[in-house]
């Protein structure tokens, strides 16, 4: 008999999970999504480690290569890499392509969704907003429930058993690193950025330095896509709409606009290009968070009950389980999906072992991304003070 897996949320992670399980014998997937169309056009990039073919290439990241070695045991890494090699060629080709350069988020979502439909078997779709009660009621004995509904996870709070409504946020650890403007623009010439360039182009900006993120520029043959962030205060954050353009910035935050102009003028001096269109700006809190429980292990520990969470496995995946700033979340979510797809297909595993292994994996991913994000934030803070030795020393805690 096949195992029925309910996947709630068909964003990139829910879709990848579905595509991975669809090609696995003995599974049928019920995929639920509330959006009728994929419209998010922001450019994202997958980390090269997702398609690594050796432990060495998996660990090449300059910031967290050492952490990976410290946190994961070699056999764990090797098993993960072996699973990657076994991914069906149609899906593997997509992943390889996305790791090469930038790609709009909705193009990742559409390609995965089309691949699932083209294969034509093993997946039933429901187009609707699913409530927590409905998701819980779907779980028949022997089924599994995967919540990939993103940062505002449908079931994260429900994983803590208790009478009455679950307390909001009780199952979440949140570290707010900063408030930022994410600014994106297109430029009509090749433009590449490294740490020297970030420094030089911000030299005359005492405040509101625009920092293109690590590998955050991409030339597609005609146009460079540039995305970066500017640190703002909580007061500035609260006074801004969630999304706006260059005209709004000039009118309402002239100091930030001036800093952007200086940065862009220096790019133009170098490469004689023009900005194409307008700046696109969103203001977001940069949060690093995780679910304290990424499975229903607490329900099992609480003893037998009639509640479906007491007898069927439930997992959080992607942004439901862990969220991180600095443009690394999709890769983390995809890594998560691959581990989970591999785990649930090990049919000889007892449910408790399955939940324990997933919790451990998610915790290790958390350690990795926590250290990486704190390091990036620390480096950014130092960068802001490079021309002011006293301010720089204030931020250094050497021993």
Ligand X SMILES: Cc1cc2nc3c(=O)[nH]c(=O)nc-3n(C[C@H](O)[C@H](O)[C@H](O)COP(=O)(O)OP(=O)(O)OC[C@H]3O[C@@H](n4cnc5c(N)ncnc54)[C@H](O)[C@@H]3O)c2cc1C
- Residue with smaller CB distance to ligand X, 87 or 183: 183
- Residue with smaller CB distance to ligand X, 44 or 340: 44
- Residue with smaller CB distance to ligand X, 243 or 374: 243
- The least CB distance from residue 320 to ligand X, in Å, is 6
Place of tokens 């089309």: 114
- The least CB distance from residue 203 to ligand X, in Å, is 26
- The least CB distance from residue 396 to ligand X, in Å, is 30
- The least CB distance from residue 40 to ligand X, in Å, is 7
Cβ contacts of residue 336 below 8 Å, gap of 6+?
Answer: 13, 317, 318, 321, 322, 361, 362, 365
Written as six digits, the tokens of 6 are: 């309910």
- The least CB distance from residue 276 to ligand X, in Å, is 20
- Judged by the rule CB under 6 A, the positions of this chain that interact with ligand X are 8-14, 32-35, 42, 44-45, 105, 129-130, 148-150, 154, 182, 282, 284, 318-319, 327-331, 333
- Residue with smaller CB distance to ligand X, 81 or 284: 284
- Residue with smaller CB distance to ligand X, 223 or 302: 223
- The least CB distance from residue 322 to ligand X, in Å, is 9
- The least CB distance from residue 147 to ligand X, in Å, is 9
- Residue with smaller CB distance to ligand X, 9 or 228: 9
Query: Among 359, 346, 342, which residue's Cα sits nearest to residue 84?
Result: 342
- Residue with smaller CB distance to ligand X, 169 or 254: 169
- Residue with smaller CB distance to ligand X, 131 or 352: 131
What residue number has its CB nearest to ligand X?
11
3-state SS track over 62-116: CCCHHHHHHHCCHHHHHHHHHHHHCCCHHHHHHHHHHCCCCEEHHHHHHHHHHHH
- The least CB distance from residue 338 to ligand X, in Å, is 13
3-state SS track over the chain: CCEEEEEECCCHHHHHHHHHHHCCCCEEEEEEECCCCCCCCCEECCCHHHHCCCHHHHCCCCCCHHHHHHHCCHHHHHHHHHHHHCCCHHHHHHHHHHCCCCEEHHHHHHHHHHHHHHHCCCEEEEECCCCHHHHHHHCCCCCEEEECCCCCCCCCHHHCCCCCCCCCCCCEEEEEEEEEEEEEEEECCCCCCCHHHHHHHCCCCCCCCCEEEEEEEEECCCCEEEEEEEEECHHHHHHCCCEEEHHHHHHHCHHHHHHHHHHHHHHHHHHCCCEEEEEEEEEEEEEEEEECCCECHHHHHCCCCCCHHHCCCEEECHHHCEECCCCCHHHHHHHHHHHHHHHHCCCCCCHHHHHHHHHHHHHHHHHHHHHHHHHHHHHHHHHHCCCCHHHHHHCCCCC
- The least CB distance from residue 304 to ligand X, in Å, is 28
- Residue with smaller CB distance to ligand X, 206 or 241: 241
- The least CB distance from residue 11 to ligand X, in Å, is 2
- Residue with smaller CB distance to ligand X, 171 or 206: 171
């Amino acid at each position: 008999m096949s195992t029925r897996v309910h996947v709630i949320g068909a964003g990139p992670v829910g879709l990848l999970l579905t595509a991975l399980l669809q090609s696995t014998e003995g599974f049928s997937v019920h995929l639920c999504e509330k959006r009728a169309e994929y419209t998010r056009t922001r450019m994202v990039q997958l980390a090269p480690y997702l398609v690594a073919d050796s432990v060495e290439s998996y660990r090449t990241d300059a910031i967290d290569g050492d952490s990976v070695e410290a946190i994961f045991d070699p056999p764990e890494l090797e098993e993960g890499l072996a699973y990657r090699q076994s991914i069906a060629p149609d899906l593997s080709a997509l992943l390889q392509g996305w790791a090469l350069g930038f790609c709009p988020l909705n193009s990742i979502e559409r390609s995965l969704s089309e691949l699932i439909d083209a294969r034509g078997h093993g997946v039933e779709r429901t187009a609707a907003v699913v409530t927590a009660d409905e998701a819980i009621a779907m779980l028949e004995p022997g089924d599994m429930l995967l919540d990939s509904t993103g940062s505002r996870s449908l079931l994260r709070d429900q994983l803590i058993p208790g009478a009455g409504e679950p307390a909001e946020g009780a199952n979440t650890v949140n570290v707010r690193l900063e408030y930022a403007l994410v600014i994106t623009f297109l430029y009509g010439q090749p433009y590449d950025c490294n740490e020297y360039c970030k420094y030089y182009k911000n030299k005359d900006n005492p405040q509101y330095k625009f920092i293109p993120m690590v590998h955050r520029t991409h030339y597609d043959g005609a146009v460079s896509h540039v995305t970066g962030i500017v640190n703002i205060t909580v007061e500035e954050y609260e006074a801004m709409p969630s999304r706006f353009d260059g005209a709004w910035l000039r009118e309402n935050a002239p100091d930030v606009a001036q800093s952007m102009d200086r940065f862009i003028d220096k790019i133009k001096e170098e490469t004689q290009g023009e900005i194409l269109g307008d700046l696109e700006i969103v203001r977001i809190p940069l949060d690093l968070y995780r679910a304290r429980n990424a499975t229903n292990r607490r329900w099992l520990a609480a003893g037998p009950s009639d509640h479906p969470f007491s007898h069927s496995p439930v997992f959080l995946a992607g942004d439901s389980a862990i969220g991180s700033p600095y443009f690394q979340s999709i890769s983390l979510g995809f890594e998560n999906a691959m581990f989970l797809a591999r785990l649930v297909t090990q049919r000889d595993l007892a449910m408790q072992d399955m939940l324990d292994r997933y919790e451990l994996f998610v915790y290790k991913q958390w350690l990795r991304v926590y250290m990486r994000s704190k390091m990036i934030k620390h480096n950014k803070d130092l960068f802001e003070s490079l021309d002011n030795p006293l301010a720089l020393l204030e931020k250094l805690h050497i021993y």
